[in-house]
Amino acid sequence: MAKRRRRTHDYAEEPLEKPTFKPKDDYETDTQSDRANNSAGNILQLHQSHGNQYVMRVLGGKQPADTATLTLKDVFAIHLVPAIGSHGLSTLLRAIRVAPISERESFYNDASNRAKIRDVLPADDAKAVFGALLKDPPYIPGDLSEQYRSLDKSEKATIDDKANKQLEAETDVTGPLDWSKLEDKPFARRWLRIRDTLVEKLIAEKVTAALKEWVIELAASGDKATLAFTLDSLDKSEQLALRSDKTFMEKLRDNLAWNDFADCVQILGRRALTGEELKDHPNVIQQLNEAWDDSLPMMPPATSKDDIESGNHEEGGWIYLNLVTGKLEFKKADKLRIIVRGGTPPEMAIDLSLPPTLDDAVIIANYHIHPNEPGVYAEGPSGDDFATIDSYGIPGLMKDWKKVWVYGSVPMRLKLSGNRTYPMF
């Protein structure tokens, strides 16, 4: 369809010296003119109670010969053919007018329908069809248009620009819209509805920005009780907005002692994953699979530390939660810390007792591999594994030839504050 240049300002608030664009009365209730030029449209609207169905009168120069109950899609299939002439077009427009808004919208949203309309109809007719499809209830100015008026000039300009781009993306229409033109009304209404959603979003962002500033001020003031109370009283979406903002989280960290920061992070809804959740986490699965390969499960057991590159041996490491980003991080234990246990053959057990500290993170689990052969060794965590994990205060994950086992008596690291490695240390 033909592209038209669109004005960037608010049609509804056109200055009074240009009364053409702003009817004196409530322009949004002026819907009668939409139908006034088509009495058949009024008749057909009586049948809207049929839901997605409607009664279509096949009009021509003669009296209607028959009636049919068709969906909007059917009408398009029947009538949207080349060389159908203005008679076909008016039938089509009537059909669109009586179809429910939801049906029009879903039809319009199907790009293949729009392409067909463009292919088959001359530009002006296509515009009329698009306009009819986009026709929706009057736009009633409300709180959000008030809010829009109270924005400063540059904010308005930003909103206008975004709304222009969105309308163009949704409708292919560019160029000024004119309230006095029937064909422009659907697009102007849509533009105003788009503007409302953008204003709403901007206000939410402003509220959140003010909240963030206030929280950082509280953190800097040292009034921990008020800070904790404030964070706790936010609703979940606000807490999510705060903890998802890395810059905010870094500022919060920089204004608090580590343990106070960790407590605030927990109040904001960030928590350690449970052992069972970690077991199913794709990054954990990948980490365990790599450790499994590194442990050389297909090789005969290593018999000394010198032998660990050629024989099977335990591998393992630690799983951390980064409190600033909320992401998991991993650290492998050094193979040189493997403990050689006596027996036949000797066992190369990984030592997980001395985890390192990672920036901004706390340990939430450890993991290790038993590269044992089925039938030769018992499946599952060893007695030692059970005994040590409970002294750490986190869950353990262990992978052997059978599966990944989650073990230990705590399901997850309960407090993010406390020792940044094992909480029981």
Contact positions vs Zn ion (CB under 5 A): 382, 385
Q: How far is the CB of 408 from Zn ion (least distance, A)?
A: 12
Q: How far is the CB of 395 from Zn ion (least distance, A)?
A: 14
Please give the Cα distance from 136 to 190 (Å, whole number): 8
Q: How far is the CB of 258 from Zn ion (least distance, A)?
A: 31
Please give the Cα distance from 114 to 127 (Å, whole number): 11
Q: State which residue, 190 or 335, has the beta carbon closest to Zn ion.
A: 335
Q: How far is the CB of 244 from Zn ion (least distance, A)?
A: 37
Q: State which residue, 103 or 385, has the beta carbon closest to Zn ion.
A: 385
Q: How far is the CB of 423 from Zn ion (least distance, A)?
A: 21
Q: State which residue, 10 or 385, has the beta carbon closest to Zn ion.
A: 385
Q: State which residue, 174 or 382, has the beta carbon closest to Zn ion.
A: 382
By beta carbon distance, the residue nearest Zn ion is 385
Please give the Cα distance from 1 to 139 (Å, whole number): 25
Whether 368 and 394 have beta carbons less than 8 Å apart is answered as no
Q: How far is the CB of 385 from Zn ion (least distance, A)?
A: 4
Q: State which residue, 326 or 380, has the beta carbon closest to Zn ion.
A: 380
Q: State which residue, 382 or 419, has the beta carbon closest to Zn ion.
A: 382
Whether 413 and 278 have beta carbons less than 8 Å apart is answered as no
Q: How far is the CB of 335 from Zn ion (least distance, A)?
A: 15
Q: State which residue, 387 or 414, has the beta carbon closest to Zn ion.
A: 387
